[in-house]
Every structure is written in structure tokens, then in C-alpha cells.
Structure 1
Amino acid sequence: MSDRSRFTAIVLAGDRSPDDPLVHAVGTTCKALIPVAGTPMVLRVIEALGNSRFIGRRILCGPPESTLEAVPRLQEIIRSGQVDWLENLPSPSLSATHAMESITEAEPVLLTTADHALLSPAILDEFCQQALGSEYDVVAGLARYDDIMRAFPETRRTALRFRDGGFSGCNLFAFPTPSGRRITRFWRHIEQQRKNPFRVVSAAGWMAVLRYALGRLTLAEGLQRISRRLNLRIGVVILPQAEAAIDIDTIEDWRLADKIARGRL
């Protein structure tokens, strides 16, 4: 596989808040080190990336360098040069932008997060193959809300509800072209609105918000409007794996992910 067919992966592993109740409940020094099925979730993500045929270089933004000694395996991977470590910046968008500055324009970029503890090579290969085969500048991974609820009825997921169904994000973003990286500027603008579907949809214009509220906006229409507004080609990959949408923000998320990872669900 050529270098152009392999993504450079960025993993965001900084804490959003120094007072994360999940971190305090589990008793770790930072969120990225919370164990899932006995393995720190950041290490699970790094190893999943390493086992995907579509991933080349791996860049880890955070966790704080002082915490790395708590995970000797992760420390070894970084020291050996298998993973590049960068200090995380005050926000995810700033950390992502900083990491992208070290990546040549010839390399497609994949962005994910350390709390994507159920990420697997199968999910990555499905997403990356479709993203590379598209003509989009930016590609986001989504899962159908109904699929998630059927597989894991006890979970609570934020959903964008369109005329053609509800969808939840999967913390997977691809930038197959250099132009796609411009979206990080837009990301900074909506960074605080990730749990507010109306404000996210408002990026497509207020008429889109009205149509969304009335249940008349399809996912494709929303993507077309945002693409025009940002002058980028933006698309999605609908992933068949319901677990692709399970990230860890709460104690309930953590318990669910641990059960899934241990094969108890």
C-alpha cells in the first residue's frame, strides 16, 4: 500500500476539564488512562491504529508527559519512535491544528480521540477505505441511532435527527485532501456546541435549522448546505458497527464500554 493510501493518525488525549467526575470516580490521573477491560483506553486506541492496514504514522496529543510513566507500554511505544507525542493545547481544535502542522500536505489525515475505547482495526479499515475512495475533503464517521439503540438499549447518545433517520457521531474524521484541514477553523467556532444539535445544524444556515426542527431536512441536504457554506466537499461514512459510536464521557459509558470489551454484551 502506497503512503498516499495510508493515513497519518492524530489521537487527541487531553482532558477537557481538570475536574472530570469520571476521572475522580475511577481514580486515574487523567481521562485517557482510564482502563477498559484492564487496558488504558488511550493504549487501546493506539494499538487499534497500529493494527489497521490504512494507518501509517501515529501522533498522540497528550496526555501530560508526567502521566506516561503510569503506562510503561505506551511510554515504550513513544520512546521507540512508533508514536510521536505532542503536548496537548488548551482545546481539541488547537491540538489538532498543531499536530497537522507537522504533517505534509501529501498525507491524508485521520483524527480520533483517546476515549474511543472500542475502536478496532475493522472499524478503521471500513472508514478509511470509504473515505479514501470518496471525492470529499472532509469525511465524518456516523452510526445510525436506531442501530445503536438496538445493540445497546441502555446507552444514551446525542443524535442528529434528520428526515431520513437519526445519526450519532463516531469520533472519526478523515481529511483526504489538504483543503479539508481548513475545517479546523470552523471547528473552533462550534467546539462548545457539540452536545447541541440545533447549533451544529445552524452552521448550514437558519433555514436549515427550521427544516431540521420540522423534520424535513435530510442528512444529504445538511451536508450539501454546510459544504457550500464552508466551500469544502463534506461527506460521511455510515458505519455498520454500533460500537463505533460509543465513546466514554460518563461513568455509565465507561461501564458499558468495559462490558462490551470484555465480551459480556
Structure 2
Amino acid sequence: MKAIILAGEGKDKNSFDHNKATIPIKGIPMIQYVVNCIKSSEYIDSLLVVGNPQHLEPIIGGEVEIIIQQKASMMDNLLEALSYVKEEDKVLIATCDIPLIHKAVVNNFIETAMTKEADLCYPIVEKSFCEGCYPDARRTYVPLKEGVYTGGNMILLAPKTIDKIEVIARLLIRHRKNPIKMSQALGFRFILKLLLKKLSIPKLERHIQKKFKIKVKAIISQNPEIANDIDTIEDIKILEKYL
């Protein structure tokens, strides 16, 4: 299976002095943790990275298949990367800012996702797992009927389906830190059920399948590392003590 790491600069320049992917954490560039982890999985035979080649080549140039020139947005970066793997059945996609992940996290997600008949699998982690393992990490949570969850920074995607979901995906990526704005893309009734805590995971999956004609499965993960991403310098200070 091929894997893609999204390491574009985007709006990160507003929070960091330079490319977030190259920020040192305990002396190691952040993206190096993610590259090492994904490459360690026996399920991954090729790794592509989207970002700034000038900054990334000296760090990981000899460890990945290709570093693809970044585009204007995260979604554009994803589309560009998928053009290199469009013949693949499934592709693993991760962001560059989840340095706490390890081999078992990647393998557990892939193994569970591959048992599902789905075009897109997305990990979610229950709040108690996140706070139990990383009590000071800051996350955005969504109340569902089964519990309170946060989303992970990794998906398993069938590249052939991307044309069906490009518009909605752009909106979801833009508002990924704001569950209410994110849910607006899915309709008023969806928002109402979310606010009333009456939205179940199966109903959410069916709603997306009906609206966008793709099969989506939420993968309940017990690995909070998959959800602990870095958005600010403060996040680095919080998470680096766990490395």
C-alpha cells in the first residue's frame, strides 16, 4: 500500500517561523517522526510527501519515493498527491504533525479499516482515552450518541472516489477545528441532531453515504496518538514531553 504525508506550509507560517514540518522536537524535525513511523509498517511499501521540496529534501529526501511540490491549500495538496496514486485500491493519508504515532497505531488503523467495505475510513477517539493518556493535550470534541469523540489525522481512502467528495472535503478541511461549521455542510437536521446528542455513528455514516454516494466508516480507535496534532508552539511544549 502507498502512503501520503501532507506537509504543506499553508497557514502554518502564521504560527511558526518556518515550515511546521521541519520544526525540531527534541532535536528531530517533526516530519521525521511521522516518516519513520509510517515506513516501519509492513503494510506500507511506498511513501509520498507533499510539501516544500527545498525544505524537505535535506531531511527526508533519501527516505521517500518523491516529494511533491505543494499547492495553495491542503485539499489541493491532497488532490495533487492522489494524481500519483490514482490506480491504487486504497491509500493511507496522514498529516505531518502527529509525532506521537508509532507502528502499532498505524497498523491497528490499517488492519481495522481494511476489514470494512468502505471508500473512506476515518479514525475517531473517545475523549476519555485522550484525556487519560494525554491530559494536558488540547483537542476539539464532538458529542455523539455513543460518546464524545475527537477525530484523527489519518484516513484510508480509495482514490477513485475523490471526485465525488472534493467540494465537501474542501469545506470539511477548512473547518476541521470547528465541528459546528463542519456539520453545516451536512445539513440543518444533521446539526440539530448533533447539538441534541442524538446523532449516532451509524446514522452519520448512512447520511454521508446517501448525500455523497460514497461508503464511509468511522474507526473507533483506542490510540489517542492518532489525534494529537500540533497547531501551535504551545502544542509542541505540551506533547514533546511524551516523546
Relative to the length of structure 1, the TM-score reads 0.85
| 1:203-228, Cα deviation, whole Å (9 max, x unpaired) | 33211111111111112212211121
Alpha-carbon offset, residue 240 of structure 1: 1.0
The match for 2:45 is 56
**Which position in structure 1 is the counterpart of 2:62?**
76
Q: Pairwise CA RMSD of aligned residues?
A: 1.8
User: Is the 8 Å Cα contact of residues 162 and 217 (structure 1) preserved in structure 2?
Assistant: yes
Report the counterpart of residue 55 of structure 2 in structure 1: 67
C-alpha contact 2:120 2:155 (8 A) present in aligned 1: yes
Q: Which amino acid aligns with 2:44?
A: I
Aligned equivalent of 2:142, options 160, 166, 178: 160
Q: Give the whole-Å Cα distance in 2 for the aligned partners of 1:183 and 1:111.
A: 16
Q: Which of these residues, 5, 19, 40, is aligned with residue 11 of structure 1?
A: 5
1:188-207 equivalence runs, <5 A:
188-207=170-189
- Give identity over the alignment, percent: 25
Q: Match for 1:103: what amino acid?
A: V
How do residues 219-238 of structure 1 correspond to structure 2 at under 5 angstroms?
219-238=201-220
Q: Which position in structure 2 is the counterpart of 1:148?
A: 130
In the alignment, the residues of structure 2 paired with residue 243 and residue 68 of structure 1 have an alpha-carbon distance, to the nearest angstrom, of 23
Secondary structure at the counterpart of residue 70 of structure 2:
coil
Question: Residues 223-247 of structure 1: CA distance to partner in whole angstroms, max 9, x if unpaired?
Answer: 2111211111101111111222111
Q: Which residue of 2 aligns with 1:30?
A: 19
Q: Which of 214-223 and 177-186 deviates more?
A: 177-186
Tell me, yes or no, if structure 1 residue 247 matches structure 2 residue 229. Answer: yes
Q: Determine if the alignment matches structure 1 residue 43 to structure 2 residue 32.
A: yes
Alpha-carbon displacement from aligned partner over 1:47-93 (angstroms, at most 9, x marks no partner): 1111001112111001x22223653xx1332xxxx421101111111
Residue 133 of structure 1: SS of its match in structure 2?
Answer: coil
Whether the aligned pair in 2 keeps the contact of 1:194 and 1:200 (CA below 8 Å) is: yes
The 1:18–1:47 alpha-carbon spacing in structure 2 relative to 1, beyond 3 Å, is closer
Distance 1:18 1:51 in 2: 27
Which one is further off, 246-255 or 98-107?
98-107
**Kindly tell me: are residues 234 and 18 of structure 1, through their superposed partners in 2, closer, same or farther at Cα, counting changes over 3 Å?**
closer
In the alignment, which residue of structure 1 is the partner of 2:198?
A: 216
Q: State the shift of 1:201 in Å.
A: 2.1
Bigger shift: 108-117 or 194-203? Answer: 194-203
Residue 177 to residue 14, structure 1, CA distance change in 2 (3 Å) = closer
Q: Which runs of 5+ in 2 are unaligned?
A: none
Instruction: Output the CA distance in 1 between the equivalents of 2:12 and 2:128.
Output: 34
Unaligned runs of 5+ in 1: 1-6
Whether the aligned pair in 2 keeps the contact of 1:246 and 1:253 (CA below 8 Å) is no
Query: Which amino acid in structure 2 is aligned with residue 20 of structure 1?
Result: N
Give runs of ≥4 in structure 1 deviating > 3 Å. none
Task: Name the CA distance, whole Å, in 1 between partners of 2:200 and 2:172.
Answer: 21
Structure 1 residue 96 displacement after superposition: 0.6
Length, aligned pairs only: 243
How far is the alpha carbon of 1:177 from its aligned partner?
A: 6.4
CA separation in 1, counterparts of 2:164 and 2:195? 28
Counterpart position of 1:89: 71
Is 1:107 the counterpart of 2:89? The answer is: yes
Aligned with 2:62: secondary structure? helix
